[in-house]
Structure 1
C-alpha cells in the first residue's frame, strides 16, 4: 500500500537519491529473498521517475546476522553499516543532512525506512521543512507503526514525495517482473563498522573484518552487548512514567501535545518544536 505518492519533479528526476533502511525496526518479511531488496526499491523509484544516482544503505546492529543474509543484501546493491554504540539510524540521517559533502547538497531525495515514526517527524521532517522545496522526503514503515500528528504529507506540501507500507503489499510487493535490475552505481558510500569506526570499500573486506579479533572474541561481544544495554537504560531513564518524572513538566506537555493534537498549521507545529528545543 502507498499513499500521497507523486512522480518525481524535474529537479529530482536526475539528482541524488539516498535510501536509509533501519534494519533493526524494519526487518525483511520472513522468507523474503534479501538479494531482491535493492532491485525492488530501485524499480519502484524508477517507476516514479527517480533516475539519478541511487544509494541504498542498510544500517543496524549486525550482531548475529548471518553472513549469507548480508552477502545477499550486498549483491543487490545495499551498502551495509554497523551502528555505533549509542547511535541510531535517525542520527545518521541527520548527520548526512547536515553534511557539507556535495552528494548531500540539493536537489536531494531521501527515502527513510523506519518504524520510529514519531521521532522521525521531529528529527528529520523538521530539517526538510526548514531546508525547503529542493529537499524531497519519501517514507516507508511497517503497517503497525503509529503515526504522529500531523502527518508528514500535511507539513511538507512542497517536498514530500510519498509513503509506503513496509510489507509484501507495499514497497516490497512483487512487481510481476523477473528482470528487476539494480543500478550498479552505489555512489562513494562504503560499508562501515561503527564499533571500530572503520570503512571498507568492498563487502569481502567488511566481512573479513567481522571474522577477525576482537569481533570473533566472545568476551568482547559480551562487553559490547553490555555497553549497548547501558545506553538503552540511560535513554529509558528519561522516559519513565512515574510521578517523579525527570522530564520537566512543560517539556513533557509539549511532547504529549505533539503526539495527540492535529495542529492547525505547519508553522504552529514547528513553533512548538522550537519551544521544546529551547526548554531542553
Structure 2
C-alpha cells in the first residue's frame, strides 16, 4: 500500500499532555514488565550494538574509546523523504549533519510512525541503509515509551534528534528528565513554534530545516563518499519492530518483507482494537466501516482513508450498492418475495 495525500489535513494538533508529567503517559501494556512485552526494549539495545559497531568502523575508531550515543527519531508521516532524494541517502546525511554539530558519535536512526501506508519499496530502501523501522502510530505516547526504553541502555551525556512536525511529539515535556542534549528538525513551512517562540522551554538546543539538512549534506558528504550504488547498503541485517504487537523482525535478510507482510495481516489489525480509544456503544472512536479498521486517532484514520486499499474497497462497495439498486429496479418482485415472510408472520400475529 502506498500513501497518497490528496486532501490537506491539519497535522499540527493540540498537545495531548499540556502541563503534565510524562511519567504518567503510559500504555497499559507497558505496566506488566514481562519477557514478551520487553522485546521492543531489547531490540533497541540490539540496534545500539549493531549501529555502534558500524559507525565506529566507518569513523576509524573501532579500537575503543568513549563514543557518545545519538538517537535520531524520524517521523516518516510528517517528514517524508523529499521528492528527488534517494531514501538510502537519508541516514548518511543525518550522520554528516550531526558530525558538523557535535563531532563523532554513534548514531542510531529510527524511522517511526504509522508505517502501514508507506510503500514497501520505500521501507526496504530505508531499512537497507541501516535505519531501524518501528511501526509506532500513537504519536507522543509511543515516542515517550521508546525514548524511555532507549535511555535504559544509553545514559547521559548523549544526544537526541527528533525529526517531526507532529506537536504531540515535539512536546518539551517528553524530553525533560532524560538529561540528553536535544535537537529538533522541522520541514519547511512548518506551523510549529520555533525556538525563538519557545524561549521559556530550554529543551531543544538547536533546530534544523529538514529539506535543508538533507540537501546541504548530500552535496558535501554523499556525492563525495558513495562511489557506487552498492555502497549505500549497510553490513547489518535489517531490524523492524511493530510497537503495537511487540513483534520484532531481525534474524534474516527477509526481515523487512516479513515486517511489511505483518502490517497487512489480520492478526495485526485485530491487535489494534486493544489500543484505540473506545467511543459510544463500545466501538472504536475512530473507525472505518468499509474496511473494519480501528484507528488510534483522527490523523491515523485520515492516513487510512487516503490509502489505496481503502479507496479500492470503497469503490467496490459503491459498485456493489449500485448493482443491487439496479437489480431491485429490474426485479421489484424480488423485494416483495423477501418481505413476504415478515408480512405473513405479521398476519399470523394479528390473527392470534
Q: Same fold (TM over 0.5)?
A: yes
* Corresponding residue for residue 200 of structure 1: 249
Query: Residues 154 and 108 of structure 1: is their aligned pair in 2 closer, same or farther, counting only changes over 3 Å?
Result: same
- In the TM superposition, what whole-angstrom CA distance separates every residue of 1:145-197 from its partner, at most 9, and x where no partner exists? 1233774773455x643111111x334433334216889698x9941123432
CA contact (8 A) 1:80 1:192 kept: yes
Q: Offset of 1:61 from its aligned partner?
A: 1.9
Q: 1:66 aligns with which of 71, 95, 119?
A: 119
* Corresponding residue for residue 175 of structure 1: 219
How many equivalent pairs are there?
Answer: 213
- Does residue 1:107 correspond to 2:157, yes or no? yes
The 3-state SS of whatever aligns with 2:199 is helix
Query: Which has the higher mean CA deviation after the structures are superposed, 188-197 or 75-84?
Result: 188-197
CA distance in 2, matches of 1:171, 1:96: 25
Higher percent of residues as helix? 2
- In the TM superposition, what whole-angstrom CA distance separates every residue of 1:53-83 from its partner, at most 9, and x where no partner exists? 2110001222243322112111222111112
The 3-state SS of whatever aligns with 2:115 is coil
Query: Residues 120 and 210 of structure 1: is their aligned pair in 2 closer, same or farther, counting only changes over 3 Å?
Result: closer
* Corresponding residue for residue 173 of structure 2: 126
| Structure 2 unaligned blocks of 5 or more | 1-65, 273-287, 303-352
CA contact (8 A) 1:57 1:78 kept: yes
Q: 1:137 aligns with which of 157, 169, 182?
A: 182
Q: 2:104 aligns with which of 34, 51, 57?
A: 51
Q: What are the equivalent positions in structure 2 for 1:176-255 lying under 5 Å apart? A: 176-177=220-221, 178=223, 179=225, 190-201=239-250, 204-211=254-261, 215=265, 226-229=292-295, 231-232=297-298
The 3-state SS of whatever aligns with 1:36 is helix
| Structure 1 unaligned blocks of 5 or more | 1-12, 237-280
CA contact (8 A) 1:26 1:115 kept: yes
CA RMSD of aligned residues (A): 4.1
CA distance in 1, matches of 2:264, 2:91: 31
Higher relative contact order (CA 8 A, sep 6+): 1
CA distance in 1, matches of 2:201, 2:235: 29
CA contact (8 A) 2:165 2:192 kept: no
- Does residue 1:165 correspond to 2:206, yes or no? no
Query: Residues 77 and 161 of structure 1: is their aligned pair in 2 closer, same or farther, counting only changes over 3 Å?
Result: farther
CA distance in 2, matches of 1:230, 1:99: 22
Query: Residues 225 and 166 of structure 1: is their aligned pair in 2 closer, same or farther, counting only changes over 3 Å?
Result: farther
CA distance in 2, matches of 1:148, 1:15: 29
Query: Residues 206 and 100 of structure 1: is their aligned pair in 2 closer, same or farther, counting only changes over 3 Å?
Result: closer
Q: Offset of 1:111 from its aligned partner?
A: 0.3
- In the TM superposition, what whole-angstrom CA distance separates every residue of 1:122-142 from its partner, at most 9, and x where no partner exists? x3x2354445xx410000011
CA distance in 1, matches of 2:232, 2:183: 19
- Does residue 1:147 correspond to 2:197, yes or no? no
The 3-state SS of whatever aligns with 1:48 is helix
Q: Offset of 1:231 from its aligned partner?
A: 3.4
CA contact (8 A) 2:90 2:214 kept: no
Q: Offset of 1:24 from its aligned partner?
A: 0.6
- Does residue 1:94 correspond to 2:160, yes or no? no
CA distance in 2, matches of 1:126, 1:109: 16
